[in-house]
Chains A and B, each alone.
Chain A
């Protein structure tokens, strides 16, 4: 079983649609969680951290369910510029060192 699992997609949605991505992780000792965005042939960039209480940043909402080891990302009112691969990332900090474990990513295509 992969440490971080995501549906690879692609998710094809029209502009203005709402789309949700899910992610599960296997290590219950994982300490922090993130969504990164990676554009084609570019480096990953931090989109948002994910907290148990849920957090929102504009059109983006992230949720964490520790009991189910499940993370989600909701994008409302999709824009063409949202087309990218969204990486679910889990931080398995161990003896003071960060260790980020990346999912394989979910590809989103927003069309006019």
Chain B
């Protein structure tokens, strides 16, 4: 398994501002993923982040709104830019464990935009 730490765990932000969420893993992993879970909804993949290459975004998500960094094999950041109340959500970092076909999640970052 993997231990995944996310910061901040929760935040309340003003609309129009940006927030960067950090994800730290206790082991080196090739693939990291960022998901969003809006209130009452299931998880939706935002993008896949591999070290040394640009993130791959899913349909409906763009780099200008959700820029991602992946400077090394244990760390990634997701920025939610120019926030609006519609961005209020849980943002989850996840990793694929190299030894198996399994994905683990961080505890999530609960974002409320007012």
Residues on A lying within 8 angstroms of B by beta carbon are 32, 34, 41-46, 49, 87, 91, 97-105
Beta-carbon contact of A43 and B106 below 8 Å: yes
Beta-carbon contact of B41 and A104 below 8 Å: yes
Residues on B lying within 8 angstroms of A by beta carbon are 31, 33, 41-45, 48, 56, 92, 96, 101-108, 110
Given contacts A98-B31, A98-B96, A100-B43, 11 further A-B contacts (CB under 8 A): A32-B101, A42-B107, A43-B105, A43-B107, A43-B108, A87-B42, A91-B101, A97-B31, A98-B33, A98-B103, A99-B48
A43 with B42, Cβ < 8 A, contacts A98-B31, A98-B103 known: no
Q: Tell me the nearest residue of chain B to A99, going by C-beta.
A: B45
CA distance A12 to B56 in the complex (A): 40
Looking at chain A's contact residues, the main secondary structure is strand
A105 with B107, Cβ < 8 A, contacts A91-B101, A97-B31, A98-B96 known: no
CA distance A79 to B69 in the complex (A): 42
- Listed by A's residue number, 17 A-B pairs whose Cβ atoms lie within 8 Å are A34-B102, A41-B110, A42-B107, A43-B92, A43-B107, A46-B102, A46-B103, A91-B101, A97-B31, A97-B56, A98-B48, A98-B96, A102-B44, A103-B42, A104-B41, A104-B42, A105-B42
Q: Tell me the nearest residue of chain A to B41, going by C-beta.
A: A104
What are the residues of chain B within 8 A of A34 when measuring CB–CB? 102
What are the residues of chain B within 8 A of A91 when measuring CB–CB? 101
Beta-carbon contact of A44 and B105 below 8 Å: yes
Distance (whole angstroms) from the CB of B96 to the closest CB of chain A: 6
What are the residues of chain A within 8 A of B43 when measuring CB–CB? 44, 87, 100, 102
